[in-house]
Amino acid sequence: MNIFDIYLDKIKNLIKKLNDKGLIELPESLKGINVDIPPPNFDYDISTNVSMVLSKINRKSPLDIANQLIDLIKKEDSYIENITVAKPGFINIKFNKTYWNNFVKEIHTNYKKFGVNNKEKKQKYLIEFVSANPTGPLHVGHCRGAILGDVISNILLFNNHVVLKEYYVNDYGNQIVSFTKSVFFRIKEILNNEKFPIENPDLYPGDYLIEIAKNIISNNKKLNFDKFENISDKLTIIAVSESLKLIKENLKSLGINHDNFISETNIVNNKEVESVISKLKEKDFIYQGKIEAPKSENGKDWVKRKQLLFKSTNFGDDKDRALQKSDKSWTYFASDVAYHNNKLDRNFDILINILGADHAGYIKRITSAVEAISGTKNKLICKVSQLVKLIKDGKPFKMSKRKGDYITVEDLVSEVGKDATRFIMLNRSSDVELDFDFTKVKEKSKDNPLYYVQYCYARISSVFRHVNIDINKELKFNNYNFEYSKDEIKILKKISEWPKCIEVASSKLEPHRIPIYLYELASDFHSYWNMGKDNTDKRFINEKKIISNEKLVFLKIISNVIKSGMKIVGVDTPEKM
């Protein structure tokens, strides 16, 4: 039930009819025509720009065309109370009482489907997000991408798509070797009192390694930890799984569950890299060659080598990319190409990757590779989440990985809570750096949009409590013949925008639109609520402690939208705060 789409179709059909009769000319595409909300100072419900789009090809002024159309539009539609033409050529429409009653009836009885986008073709999505190195618990930097990916999944699921949430475990390569060594030294420290070589910059100094080491010792009493070389393979597997345990706990505390964890080592061991490379070779995207040094390197330490390269320049990348190191082992890129080949083999319609800002430069080459393998453009969509600037007591808070002093997800969630973390992290476009102010996020006041929205739901709940009706039960009405006031229609109009909000959030993968919408809806509601102070007629419950059906349904549909929005964002809607 998207009123904007319904009227867009009506208008398009009308002008097509007129075109068949030879009364007007149509442009090649009707894409430019849209139906929107008029600015608030106009007392109308929807508006359209048709006449502006048709103006040029018909060589008439938009105003003339608009005047030609309005009578025809009105004649075909019994819900229009008033239709007029405004300045440049907009057509404004105001609906009558019957219209709004039908609207309320529809979204009240079918509230579960309200907002769901039925126009989109149902697709199979694979969304990869977080994929942090399994070398320790998650820190704040991982948080934003994690929440972004989770909420994008929720939106897609809300629209009835099939979604698989996947975590790629980078358990192959040098970082894992360093990590395993660090765990090894911690074990030696505990068992033999050998001091951990803290001065070695390649090792991971964090205290969590001690916990991991302790767990490994107590769970693997039979293992001999004397020589690193003898147990490195075994230890790697154990250490990575310990670290994944921590990561999964962190994700759980944020309310995030991945459907699938996939291991890089498995991909390499299954020879998937070799097979994807031979596939690309057949298509002539691979060659032996040399790449130029990057400008920033001064050319000093740069050695030109002949190596296996992928022709990503064919797809608009600035240079071709290396697949193999000089010791013949695979680069990260090579195994990632294999991983994406693996994704493609599983027959998804669309792949989505959520990346951190520091990986933005990587997008071109991996989308190139996916295009080369699949032969289709835009099969892989990469979404970048920008940095989070931490602020504590008004001052920026720096994290240092070397010192091992950084804020973990655990710290964050225990301090500000899951809901506030999710809501605030989403309250901005992911293209923009985000200030995350600890002191403000903890504050339960108007500074904090989460509580503002939750408070709206709590207020509605309190009305239901007062009249002894369970807010979670469905209300039954047959007679929808209510007289809504101007202020109520303002809120109904806001509610009518909900499907549009979902549609944009979904098509642009911009979940931040949802918290922003909910905030606006809550704002309209709070404003309406306060009118009851001056004017007792506007209170939901009258002096006789009775609430009219009209107001009951009205409250119910607001609470339904807030609830379903908050569910997508992944936060609670408490009935009392």
Partner RNA sequence: GCGCUGCUAGCUCAACUGGAUAGAGCACCAGAUUUCGAAUCUGGGGGUUAUAGGUUCGACUCCUAUGUGGCGCACCA
**Range 38-57, binding RNA (CB under 7 A):** 38-39, 41-42, 44, 47, 49, 52-53, 55-56
Please report whether residue 516 would count as binding RNA according to CB under 7 A: yes
**Which one of the spans 96-104, 155-163, 225-233, 444-452 is the region binding RNA (CB under 7 A)?**
444-452
Please report whether residue 313 would count as binding RNA according to CB under 7 A: no
The pattern of x and - marking residues 281 through 300 that bind RNA according to CB under 7 A reads ----------x-xxxxx---
Please report whether residue 431 would count as binding RNA according to CB under 7 A: yes
- Give least dist CB 358 to RNA, A: 4
Q: How many CB atoms lie within 10 A of CB 6?
A: 12
* Span 163-192, contacts to RNA by CB under 7 A: 170, 172-176
Q: Which of 444, 472, 549, 567 binds RNA (CB under 7 A)?
A: 444
Please report whether residue 261 would count as binding RNA according to CB under 7 A: no
- Give least dist CB 194 to RNA, A: 26
Residue whose entry in the numeric block shows the structure tokens 């973390």:
421
Task: State how far the Cα of 164 lies from the Cα of 68, in Å rounded to an integer.
Answer: 51
Q: How many CB atoms lie within 10 A of CB 562?
A: 20
Please report whether residue 445 would count as binding RNA according to CB under 7 A: yes
Q: Which helix (H) or strand (E) holds 35?
A: strand 35-36
Task: State how far the Cα of 320 lies from the Cα of 371, in Å rounded to an integer.
Answer: 15
DSSP summary character for residue 361 = G
Amino acid sitting at position 402: R
Structure tokens at 399: 């994290």
Q: Strands 388-392, 434-437: parallel, antiparallel or unpaired by DSSP?
A: parallel
- Give least dist CB 30 to RNA, A: 12
Task: State how far the Cα of 147 lies from the Cα of 145, in Å rounded to an integer.
Answer: 6
Q: Crossing angle for the helix pair 272-282 and 332-345, nearest 10 degrees?
A: 80
| Count of residues that bind RNA according to CB under 7 A | 104
The pattern of x and - marking residues 528 through 547 that bind RNA according to CB under 7 A reads -xxxxxx---xxxx------
Task: State how far the Cα of 91 lies from the Cα of 276, in Å rounded to an integer.
Answer: 56
Task: State how far the Cα of 187 lies from the Cα of 238, in Å rounded to an integer.
Answer: 13
**Which one of the spans 212-220, 245-253, 344-352, 462-470 is the region binding RNA (CB under 7 A)?**
462-470
Local structure of 80: helix, strand or coil: strand
**CB nearer RNA, residue 223 or residue 291:** 291
- Give least dist CB 453 to RNA, A: 9
- Give least dist CB 494 to RNA, A: 11
Q: Which of 249, 318, 345, 349 binds RNA (CB under 7 A)?
A: 318
**CB nearer RNA, residue 194 or residue 274:** 274
**CB nearer RNA, residue 83 or residue 190:** 83
Please report whether residue 232 would count as binding RNA according to CB under 7 A: no
Q: Which of 59, 224, 303, 473 binds RNA (CB under 7 A)?
A: 303
Q: Which of 200, 270, 314, 527 binds RNA (CB under 7 A)?
A: 527
Please report whether residue 260 would count as binding RNA according to CB under 7 A: no
For 107-130, the DSSP string reads HHHTTTTTT---SSPP-EEEEE--
**CB nearer RNA, residue 229 or residue 301:** 301
**Can you say whether the dihedral through the CA atoms of 110, 115, 120, 126 is positive or negative?**
negative
Q: Strands 124-128, 350-356: parallel, antiparallel or unpaired by DSSP?
A: parallel
Please report whether residue 27 would count as binding RNA according to CB under 7 A: no
Q: Would you say 227 and 134 are in contact if contact means Cβ atoms under 8 Å apart?
A: no
